[in-house]
């Protein structure tokens, strides 16, 4: 049976930048095992499968890495919403609700500078558990000097991450995963995914980042919206931040030859974070048909 797919580049205003995403806009009838096999076949960081829902502009979306299904992910949420709007040829701003495993994800899509721009918003609680590895332990995982790791902490919204702030962009670029150290330190931790960055964490700061997720089958991610959402939420949650909106601009994927630009924001009221948003451009690349064998269809 043939299924249509679209390929888009997320968090980039030009083709062949940003994070690649395959979207199957009408995936009804494909089994869970079939979705996993298709995600492995595309071998992008994530593939999104869209299923119909009963409300207008509302879709059920399932997201798979080459190895596992995710409850939520940033670039697939933004990219899926933009891909659906592109193919509908909607010219005015539109709000879509994506029913993901983590719950409803709101994505606002608009035309901007001749292309499409999507911003996802989550109202879920930001998790910031204790127990993160020490800077010395993370330095071993990243293969950098201990003095180059400023701080390490856990945070997550839908997907847990271990965050490490490094002292320079050069240290971020130089980092190489030490598999033995990762297995000993993070493989069974609350967050085995590592998001490491350099830059200014003050409101309005600019960061330079990379992300590794070996447990998910992702050696390195080009752009990680879920991590940016968790990061702004964690920073805005701190008692010493008394404002109502905390923003960061993040550049990722540079060393991979696919530069990605991500804008992230957390909203705060009465001392608590009420929502986090992640946005950026999405560019259309290609469409086609995928032949799905009967063995990959639901019985």
Q: Report the chain's terminal Cα–Cα distance, integer Å.
A: 14
46 catalytically annotated: yes
For the chain, the maximum distance between any two Cα atoms, rounded to a whole number of angstroms, is 57
SS3 for the chain, per residue? CEEEEEEEEECCCCCCCCEEEEEECCCCCECHHHHHHHHHHHCCCEEEEEEECCCCCEEEEEEECCCCEECCCHHHHHHHHHHHHHHHCCCCCEEEEEEECCEEEEEEEEEECCEEEEEEEECCCCECCCCCCCHHHHHHHHCCCHHHEEEEEEEECCCEEEEEEECCHHHHHHCCCCHHHHHHHCCCCCCCCEEEEEECCCCCEEEEEEEEEHHHCEEEECCCHHHHHHHHHHHHHCCCCCCCEEEEEEEECCCCCCCEEEEEEEEEECCEEEEEEEEEEEEEEEEEEEECCHHHECC
Catalytic residue among 33, 46, 137, 291: 46
Sign, CA torsion 71/164/186/143: positive
| Residues annotated as part of the active site | 46
């Amino acid at each position: 049976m043939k299924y249509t797919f679209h390929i888009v580049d997320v968090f980039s205003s030009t083709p062949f930048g940003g994070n690649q995403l395959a979207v199957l806009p009408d995936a009804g009838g494909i089994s869970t095992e079939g979705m996993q096999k298709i995600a492995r076949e595309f071998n992008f960081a994530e593939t999104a499968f869209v299923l119909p829902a009963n409300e207008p502009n509302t879709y059920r979306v399932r997201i798979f890495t080459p190895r596992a299904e995710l409850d939520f992910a940033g670039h697939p949420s933004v990219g899926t919403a933009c891909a659906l709007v592109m193919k509908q040829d909607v010219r005015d701003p539109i709000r879509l609700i994506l029913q993901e495993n983590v719950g409803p994800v709101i994505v606002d899509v608009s035309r901007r500078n001749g292309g499409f721009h999507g911003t996802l918003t989550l109202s879920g609680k930001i998790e910031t558990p204790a127990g993160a590895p020490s800077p010395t332990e993370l330095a071993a995982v990243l293969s950098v000097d201990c003095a180059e790791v400023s701080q390490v902490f856990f945070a997550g919204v839908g997907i847990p991450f271990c965050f490490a702030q490094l002292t320079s962009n050069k240290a971020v670029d130089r980092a190489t995963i030490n598999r033995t150290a990762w297995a000993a330190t993070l493989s069974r931790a609350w967050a085995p995914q590592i998001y490491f960055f350099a830059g200014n964490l003050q409101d309005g700061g600019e960061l330079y980042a990379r992300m590794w997720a070996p447990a998910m089958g992702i050696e390195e991610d080009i752009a990680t919206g879920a991590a940016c959402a968790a990061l702004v939420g964690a920073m805005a949650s701190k008692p010493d931040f008394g404002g109502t909106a905390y923003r960061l601009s993040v550049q990722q994927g540079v060393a991979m030859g696919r530069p990605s630009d991500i804008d992230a924001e957390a909203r705060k009221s009465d001392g608590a974070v009420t929502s986090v948003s992640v946005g950026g451009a999405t560019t259309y690349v290609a469409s086609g048909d995928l032949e799905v064998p009967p063995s990959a269809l639901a019985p």
